[in-house]
A and B are shown apart, each in its own frame.
Chain A
Amino acid sequence: MQMILDGLREALRLLLTLDPEVVRIVVLSLKVSGSATLVALLVGLSGGVALAFLRFPGRNVVVAAVNTGMGVPPVVVGLFVSILLWRNGPLGMLELLYTPTAMIAAQVVIATPIVMGISLAALQALPEKLRWQAVGLGASRLQTVWILVREARLPLLAAAMAGFGGVISEIGASIMVGGNIKGYTRVLTTATVMETSRGNFEIAIGLGILLLLLTFGVNATLTKIQQRERPR
């Protein structure tokens, strides 16, 4: 019990004094997961729109692959990206392994199917007649897509939240392709694992609380936008 209380006290101290190492870890976590989410939104949203509006041979296979991708364990992604980036792997010449860029790449692979799958579901949930109405008002093909994306903006925001939530909390891929290098690739999750294994529970609890606050903060902001947008 004493250990937990000490842990909480130390955690609060770390947070309130803005410990430089902790600040660095938080900033890097936000940078890596934020960038990965942005790229995943770009790719995932475009893919979701294409899958929702285009009919082509093999579309069902792609949809099945996206849905499977939504549940792929981060360690498997970590393994796959590690092999690609390994010194004598296919992309070894890029020398990206154990860099923040490698972590972003791995997190993009994790978040993209999540964003794409939820976007596709959101767009497919719109009534078919809404498309008819857009076309019947004189919308071109691109304008129709834009109108429908706009109509689905709330669930699309949920796609962004789910994507960010998925990568900020994952550990397998980050530790495998980032290596948890102090001051370089150490993020909240990898640091928490390391401090726990060393028995430094106070720091681990502090990092855990930060991770929770961070996730909560981002989601609360997005939720606020979503709630404000919701029709009365």
Chain B
Amino acid sequence: MSAGGAATGPDGVDVPVLAADRLRVERGGATVLDVPSLSVSGGETLAVIGPNGAGKSTLLLALATILKASAGSVLFRGRPVGAGEAALPYRRRIAVAFQEPLLFDGTVAWNAAEGLRLRKVPPAEAARRAGEMLEKLRVAHLAGRSARTLSGGEAQRVSLARAFAVDPEVIFLDEPFSALDPGSREGIVDDLETALRESGTTAVFVTHDRVEALRLGDRIAVMSGGRVAQVGTPDEVMNRPADGDVASFVGVETVLDAFVVAAGAGTFVARAGTPGTSGPAPSVEAVGTCGVGDRVLLCIRPENVTLSLPGGPGTSARNAFPGVVSKVTPQGATHRVVVDCGVLLSALVTTHSVDELGLAPGRPVVASVKATAIHAIRR
């Protein structure tokens, strides 16, 4: 397994293992990827998330030099990677696994050793290393089976073993779990997490599932419209989204367009709606530095909204908005409750609380949010 630690350039300065420099991909005259700069440090897992068509897979293909970039370059340990066959030395130091297992026609053991054979590793050594990875991904017992007879989960495990077997310095994973049922997915995510941690391999992990991204990513890049809208730690991206698109993708269900009506030391009060409206839209207190008249987007995650009955404790707090339940959607152990309090506020409530408060459409409630749980984006 390769050592993950920080990479050091020729002049002794730390350089990222992988970087994109003004990387652009065009297709049919349209720009489908435009990434001025992006870097991945040694041993780090960068999770790339975003809606369908955001350019996640294009970014992965371009970074792995499978797709030819129209402009810009990929830097590996500080040095630009060539194009076409000149990228071969680089491609021999990475590995890619896709959403589909894409196993070749042959046995499991033979598939797992394919990357090693391509690198001219002696057969005995290749078989040993492939066997070890099959063991790690819990499919060693299938070694003699034809790859075409495997279930989806088994095949994906073999595909991951094949990628890890070459001991890559960077592993690229393009939505490797999205075609799997939840049962098989859970176990594979666990084993991938272990494999990444034990090997310390630098990874670029594309997914549209933010829960997987939070779990595996040391940092998260959110893509939208072919651009990287935000890169940051999971906490930064989840709780301090850079713009409305990122906010809605990372699960901020309430994004209020508001304008600041009062500003104090480190806090401000904003009214939802546009200046001049005098409707019943509530005033919201949030933490941050803004000037009166500023327009802001207020991001409120549903898990930060608490519901109580009118007249109950806490309903007189600053950010307590009386309203009426407009929709209740069961989601396993929790319910998603939408409250109309001049604006629509989404809350996540346990099934127990739904029963206790008798939450149903038409029920008057008070929705409260702490000022510190509101993230404001200045527009």
Counting CB contacts under 8 A, is A147 at the interface?
yes
Query: What residues on A are CB-neighbors of B64 within 8 Å?
Result: 136
- Do the beta carbons of B100 and A138 come within 8 Å of each other? no
Contact A129 to B98, CB < 8 A, known contacts A136-B64, A138-B115:
yes
Counting CB contacts under 8 A, is A141 at the interface?
yes
- Do the beta carbons of B119 and A136 come within 8 Å of each other? no
The smallest beta-carbon distance between B62 and chain A, in angstroms, is: 12
Query: What residues on A are CB-neighbors of B97 within 8 Å?
Result: 136
Counting CB contacts under 8 A, is B85 at the interface?
yes
Contact A129 to B100, CB < 8 A, known contacts A136-B66, A141-B85, A231-B146:
yes
Taken residue by residue from 87 to 101, chain B's Cβ proximity to chain A (1 for < 8 Å, 0 otherwise) reads as 010011011111010
Secondary structure call for the B interface: mixed
Q: How far is B95's CA from A133's CA once the two chains are assembled, in angstroms?
A: 9
Counting CB contacts under 8 A, is B77 at the interface?
no
Q: How far is B104's CA from A135's CA once the two chains are assembled, in angstroms?
A: 13
Counting CB contacts under 8 A, is A151 at the interface?
yes
Query: Considering only CB atoms, which chain A residue lies closest to B99 in the complex?
Result: A129
Q: How far is B94's CA from A130's CA once the two chains are assembled, in angstroms?
A: 17
Query: What residues on A are CB-neighbors of B114 within 8 Å?
Result: 137
Counting CB contacts under 8 A, is A139 at the interface?
yes
Taken residue by residue from 129 to 167, chain B's Cβ proximity to chain A (1 for < 8 Å, 0 otherwise) reads as 000000000000000001011000000000000110010
Counting CB contacts under 8 A, is B1 at the interface?
no
Query: What residues on A are CB-neighbors of B149 within 8 Å?
Result: 231-232
Query: What residues on B are CB-neighbors of A59 within 8 Å?
Result: none
Of A130, A138, A140, A153, the residue contacting B95 (CB under 8 A) is A138
- Do the beta carbons of B96 and A231 come within 8 Å of each other? no
Counting CB contacts under 8 A, is A216 at the interface?
no
Counting CB contacts under 8 A, is A184 at the interface?
no
Query: Considering only CB atoms, which chain B residue lies closest to A231 in the complex?
Result: B148
- Do the beta carbons of A150 and B115 come within 8 Å of each other? no
Query: What residues on B are CB-neighbors of A133 within 8 Å?
Result: 96, 98, 102
Q: How far is B65's CA from A138's CA once the two chains are assembled, in angstroms?
A: 11
- Do the beta carbons of B118 and A129 come within 8 Å of each other? no
The smallest beta-carbon distance between B134 and chain A, in angstroms, is: 16
Query: What residues on B are CB-neighbors of A151 within 8 Å?
Result: 104-105
Counting CB contacts under 8 A, is B172 at the interface?
yes
Counting CB contacts under 8 A, is B61 at the interface?
yes
Query: Considering only CB atoms, which chain A residue lies closest to B119 in the complex?
Result: A138
Query: What residues on B are CB-neighbors of A132 within 8 Å?
Result: 61, 66, 96, 98, 102
- Do the beta carbons of B166 and A137 come within 8 Å of each other? yes
Query: What residues on A are CB-neighbors of B91 within 8 Å?
Result: 135-136, 138
The smallest beta-carbon distance between B37 and chain A, in angstroms, is: 24
- Which residues in window 111-153 of A have CB below 8 A to B? 127, 129-130, 132-133, 135-141, 143, 147, 150-151, 153
Q: How far is B64's CA from A127's CA once the two chains are assembled, in angstroms?
A: 19
The smallest beta-carbon distance between A156 and chain B, in angstroms, is: 12
Query: What residues on A are CB-neighbors of B94 within 8 Å?
Result: 136, 138
Q: How far is B97's CA from A137's CA once the two chains are assembled, in angstroms?
A: 9
Of A137, A140, A229, the residue contacting B115 (CB under 8 A) is A137
- Do the beta carbons of B96 and A137 come within 8 Å of each other? yes
Query: What residues on A are CB-neighbors of B95 within 8 Å?
Result: 136-138
- Which residues in window 11-63 of B have CB below 8 A to A? 61
The smallest beta-carbon distance between A153 and chain B, in angstroms, is: 8
The smallest beta-carbon distance between A215 and chain B, in angstroms, is: 28
Contact A138 to B166, CB < 8 A, known contacts A132-B61, A147-B104, A231-B146:
yes
Taken residue by residue from 144 to 175, chain A's Cβ proximity to chain B (1 for < 8 Å, 0 otherwise) reads as 00010011010000000000000000000000
The smallest beta-carbon distance between B329 and chain A, in angstroms, is: 36
| Most A-side CB within 10 Å, residue of B61, B102, B148, B162 | B102
Q: Which 3 interchain pairs have the tightest Cβ spacing?
A: A136-B96, A231-B148, A133-B102
Enumerate 20 A-B pairs (CB-CB under 8 Å) in ascending A order: A132-B66, A132-B96, A133-B96, A133-B98, A133-B102, A135-B66, A135-B91, A136-B64, A136-B91, A136-B95, A136-B96, A137-B95, A137-B162, A137-B163, A137-B166, A138-B118, A139-B118, A140-B118, A143-B118, A232-B148
Name A's B-contacting residues (CB within 8 A). Answer: 127, 129-130, 132-133, 135-141, 143, 147, 150-151, 153, 229, 231-232
